[in-house]
């Protein structure tokens, strides 16, 4: 029997899952299946797709990244879906891609309604310095309503009492906004948002609605491949990430079973996606951050233009680590795909990667953005931590309450650009990749050498 292959981000999101999934999806057939099992449009999965010889960039938030392939695509039970956003996203896909015939949605997925977005942004604002740095897409309030057992789900839209249920939930939210946060919604603002929401509901009604378990089980039993596209990353998991600086769903491979309603035995080992360095959007601990706290505060408070003014040409070999981090951000275009925020940058952190790989049973890895290190003379990799004077690989219960000193190993970087070496890796890059495979005890199947779909070196794929 085929097993589901989860594709999981092993860091704090934005590892390049979209491109990885699209690449793997290009090997799939018509009856194979790509599913999302958690999260909502807080995700931003970028892919470059070639049309008529020209590369075009797409960012997917809800629709699985394999949409340009031929496989079936499914929005699973564990997701939260903003129907207006889904309709807009669907409209960005070129008309010659007949994806509407291949897409289906679970009736169990939770609906994000307009007041969820307001609750998300107002509650973040009120937290002030203690904010999580949410994407503001209403994800946490949507999942909160699920556990409060009052959420609206996709299957509800087909019943005559849907509008009434919607009004009741929206009224509850309005009360909370006013009584708890002192925020009164303008009727006009809500009206405009509701118009988009109900247009989205009408669009949703035209799609195939089917239980995730049914479609996944049929594919597996028919010996077809099933890929589960993770959103966010293992370190943002609601329970095993750096709580409370996490998202509101189970982003790890175990979430595939609960997010689709299938037995855990259906889930095979995962393919982990990792960047050649680390980035993070939002608040929370980051042991290997270049520039430490200075970087965290800068990325929280400043915009892209501020950074371009201060560092028109950041030097990757500067003595100031903060500037090196800025160079990494500039070279890697590390700007949030969903929010436009500056992503915090740092060196690769092996203790965190091992933690994430164990949780996800990652046997194979995709290493992305190696090309971003072009121009650096030396790069560092954190191989272990020193905590309370002792060397350790163990991730403490609360990373933000201990003083963590990373232990680094330094690697020389190739001269010129990775693309100068064609489909071969320069010696220095090869040494780095081999080192990672040994340290992480896994195969690196793809190495990303640029953002476009062809910018990849395939190492073990048949």
Please identify every residue annotated as catalytic.
Answer: 14, 45
Mark residues 19-38: x for contact with ligand GDP by CB under 6 A, - for none. Answer: x-------------------
Candidates 6, 13, 314, 351: give the one binding ligand IMO (CB under 6 A).
13
Select the span of 13-21, 76-84, 98-106, 196-204 touching ligand GDP (CB under 6 A). Answer: 13-21
Binding ligand GDP (rule: CB under 6 A), the pick from 6, 9, 268, 316 is: 9
78 binds, among Mg ion, ligand IMO, ligand GDP, none (CB under 5 to 8 A by kind): none
* Closer of 310 and 333 to ligand GDP (Cβ): 333
Minimum Å gap between C-beta 40 and ligand IMO is: 8
Among 5, 14, 123, 356, binds ligand IMO (CB under 6 A): 14
Task: Find the residue with minimal CB distance to ligand GDP.
Answer: 448
Which chain residues interact with Mg ion by CB under 5 A?
Answer: 14, 44, 337
* Minimum CB–partner distance for residue 264 and ligand IMO (Å): 23
Q: Does 316 bind ligand GDP (CB under 6 A)?
A: no
Minimum distance of ligand GDP from residue 323's CB (angstroms) = 20
Choice from 11, 46, 295, 384 touching ligand GDP (CB under 6 A): 46
- Choose from ligand GDP, Mg ion, ligand IMO, none: what does 333 bind? Cβ within 5-8 Å by kind: ligand GDP
- The contact mask relative to ligand IMO for 263-302 (x = CB under 6 A, - = no) is ------------------xx--------------------
Q: How far apart are CA 88 and CA 84, in angstroms?
A: 6
Distance of closest approach, residue 384 Cβ to ligand IMO, in angstroms: 25
15 binds ligand GDP (CB under 6 A): yes
Residue 371 interacts with, from ligand GDP, Mg ion, ligand IMO, none (CB under 5-8 Å by kind) = ligand GDP
Site for ligand IMO in 118-147 (CB under 6 A): 132-135, 137, 139-140
Residue 383 contacts residue 347 (beta carbons within 8 Å): no
3-state helix/strand/coil string of the chain: CCCEEEEEECCCCCCCHHHHHHHHHCCCCCCCEEEECCECCCCCEEEEEEECCEEEEEEECCCCHHHHCCCEEEECCCEEECHHHHHHHHHCCCCCCCHHHCEEECCCCEECCHHHHHHHHHHHHHHHHHCCCCCCCCHHHHHHHHHCCCCCEHHHHHCCCHHHHHHHHHHHHHHHHHHCCCCCCCHHHHHHHHHHHHHHHHHHHCCEECCHHHHHHHHHHCCCCEEEECCCCHHHCCCCCCCCCCCCCCCCCHHHHHHHCCCHHHECCEEEEEECCEEECCCCCCCCECCHHHHHHHHHHCCHHHHHHHCCCCCCCCCCHHHHHHHHHHHCCCECCCCCCECEEECEEHHHHHHHHHHHCEEEEEEECHHHHCCCCEEEEEEEEEECCEEECCCCCCHHHCCEEEEEEEEECCCCCHHHHCCCCCHHHHHHHHHHHHHHCCEEEEEECCCCCCCEEECCCC
Q: To which residue do tokens 């071969």 refer?
A: 424
- Interface pattern 227-246 for ligand IMO (x via CB under 6 A): ----xxx--x--------x-
Positions that interact with ligand GDP (CB under 6 A) = 9, 13-19, 44-46, 333, 337, 368-369, 371-372, 448-451, 455
Positions that interact with ligand IMO (CB under 6 A) = 9, 12-14, 42-45, 132-135, 137, 139-140, 231-233, 236, 245, 247-248, 281-282, 337
């Amino acid at each position: 029997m085929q097993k589901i292959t989860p594709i999981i981000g092993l860091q704090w999101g934005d590892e390049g899952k979209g491109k990885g999934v699209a690449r793997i999806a290009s090997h799939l057939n018509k009856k194979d299946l790509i599913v999302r099992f958690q999260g909502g449009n807080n995700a931003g999965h970028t892919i470059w797709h070639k049309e008529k010889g020209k590369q075009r960039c797409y960012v997917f938030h809800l629709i699985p990244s394999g949409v340009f392939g031929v496989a079936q695509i499914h929005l699973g039970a564990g997701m939260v879906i903003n129907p207006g956003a889904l309709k807009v996203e669907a409209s960005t896909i070129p008309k010659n891609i007949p994806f509407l015939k291949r897409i289906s949605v679970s009736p169990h997925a939770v609906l994000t309604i307009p007041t969820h977005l307001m609750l998300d942004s107002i509650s973040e604002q009120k937290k002030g310095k203690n904010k999580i740095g949410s994407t503001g897409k209403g994800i946490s309030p949507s999942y909160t309503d699920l556990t409060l057992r009052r959420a609206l789900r996709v299957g509800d839209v087909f019943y005559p009492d849907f509008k009434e249920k919607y009004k009741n939930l929206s009224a509850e939210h309005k009360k909370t906004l006013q009584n708890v946060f002192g925020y009164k919604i303008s009727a006009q603002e809500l009206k405009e948002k509701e118009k988009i929401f109900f247009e989205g509901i009408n669009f949703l009604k035209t799609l195939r609605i089917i239980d995730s378990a049914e479609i996944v089980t049929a594919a597996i039993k028919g010996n077809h491949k099933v890929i589960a596209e993770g959103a966010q990353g293992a370190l943002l998991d609601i329970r095993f990430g750096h709580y409370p600086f996490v998202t509101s769903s189970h982003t790890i491979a175990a979430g595939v079973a609960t997010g689709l309603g299938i037995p855990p035995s259906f889930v095979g080992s995962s393919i982990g996606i990792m960047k050649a360095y680390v980035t993070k959007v939002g608040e929370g601990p980051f042991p290997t951050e270049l520039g430490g706290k200075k970087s965290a505060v800068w990325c929280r408070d400043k915009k892209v233009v501020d950074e371009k003014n201060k560092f028109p040409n950041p030097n990757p070999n500067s003595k100031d680590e903060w500037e090196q981090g800025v160079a990494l951000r500039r070279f890697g275009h590390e700007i949030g795909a969903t929010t436009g925020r500056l992503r915090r940058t740092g060196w690769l952190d092996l203790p965190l990667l091992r933690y994430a790989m164990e949780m996800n049973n990652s046997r194979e890895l995709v290493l992305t953005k190696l090309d971003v290190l072009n121009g650096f003379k030396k790069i560092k990799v954190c191989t272990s931590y020193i905590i309370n004077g002792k060397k350790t690989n163990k991730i403490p219960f609360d990373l933000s309450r201990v003083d963590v000193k990373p232990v680094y190993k330094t690697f020389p970087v190739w001269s010129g650009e990775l693309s100068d070496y064609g489909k071969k890796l320069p010696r220095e890059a090869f040494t780095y990749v081999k080192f990672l495979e040994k340290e992480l005890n896994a195969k690196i199947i793809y190495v990303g050498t640029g953002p476009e779909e062809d910018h990849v070196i395939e190492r073990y794929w048949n």
